A = this chain, B = another copy of it.
Amino acid sequence: MEKYSDNPLDTKRRILEAAGKIFAARGFQGTTVRDICSEADVNIAAVSYHFRDKKNLYFDTLKYWQAAAFQKYPHIRETDASLPPEDRLRAFVFQFVSRMLNDGNASWFGKLMAKEVIEPTEALDIVVEEAVRPSFEILRSIVTELIGNVSDERTIRLCCASIIGQSLYFFYSQPVIAKLFSGNTPGFTEPELIADHVARFSVNAIKAFAIQMKGDTP
């Protein structure tokens, strides 16, 4: 048969790569370790040996691809704080959407995350604490600056949710949108165009909020 891998780490990594692809496509339940091992071109026993069991492999896969996604599309930097909040919001949405929509491997984290949100397992904690919360805190600071100091915590949170919700929709619903518009979907797939729209839409909304609230509490 085949020769052993040149690098002992190679087998482990090949499994993680294959697992990302297949878990992302079919979910935890829909994936068999045989599928993964076949895709990775390794023996079935390698999963038990390197990862103990399927569930642990799933955890490690999630962490592996989360790291990959955030390495390619890191959180927007603190130094960007000099920019006006409108620009920072657009940059945030762009990073957020790119991290998931990015063609190829990096998008596997987004798909894994989506499945985890819709049908949570014990791994939801990882997703929330290491991906959702950091993003949310950054967004919160942008929205807070944008809306001014006239607003309460609840309003800020709702506005953040509105922005995240829009951003996610363009990712989640790709198959639905394709069917709905018969594939004619200009502006629904390119991260730049999505970011432009979501940022503009949301800035408009929040600025009007700010004006309305200033009127409420003169």
Using CB atoms and an 8 Å cutoff, list the residues of chain A in contact with chain B: 26-27, 29-30, 114-115, 117-120, 124-125, 127-128, 132-133, 136, 154, 157-159, 161-162, 164-170, 172-173, 175-177, 179-181, 186-188, 197-198, 200-202, 204-205, 207-209, 212
Contacts and interface: CB of A to CB of B under 8 A. Distances in A.
Contacts of A157: 181, 187-188
Contacts of A172: 117-118, 168, 172
Copies in the complex: 2
Please list the 9 inter-chain residue pairs (A to B) with the smallest Cβ-Cβ separation, ordered nearest first.
Answer: A165-B169, A204-B208, A205-B205, A29-B29, A165-B166, A204-B205, A29-B30, A201-B205, A128-B179
A9 B142 CA distance: 57
A174 to B, nearest CB: 9
Contact of A119 (B26, B179, B181): B26
Contact of A166 (B26, B162, B186): B162
A160 to B, nearest CB: 10
Nearest to A185: B157
A3 to B, nearest CB: 36
B117 A197 contact: no
Nearest to A174: B117
Contact of A197 (B29, B158, B177, B202): B158
A148 B176 CA distance: 27
27 contacts: A27-B27, A27-B29, A27-B119, A29-B30, A30-B119, A114-B118, A117-B172, A118-B172, A120-B175, A124-B175, A128-B180, A132-B176, A154-B186, A158-B197, A159-B201, A161-B166, A162-B166, A162-B198, A162-B201, A164-B169, A165-B165, A165-B167, A165-B170, A165-B173, A168-B169, A169-B169, A207-B208
